[in-house]
Amino acid sequence: MIPEYKKDASHRLKAAIGHLKAVATMVDDERYCVDIMKQLAAVQASLDGVQQVLLKNHLSTCVTDAILAGSGESLITELVAALRYSKGIPSMEPVGSTGATPHCHHEARETVSGTVEGGTA
| Contact between residue 66 and residue 53 where contact means Cβ atoms under 8 Å apart | no
Q: Hey, what CATH class is 3-88 in?
A: mainly alpha
pLDDT digits (tens, 9 = 90+) for 53-99: 999 999 999 988 888 888 888 888 888 888 887 775 655 555 444 44
What is the tens place of the pLDDT at every residue in 72-81?
A: 888 888 888 8
DSSP conformational letter for 116: E
Other C-beta atoms closer than 10 Å to the C-beta of 110 total 10
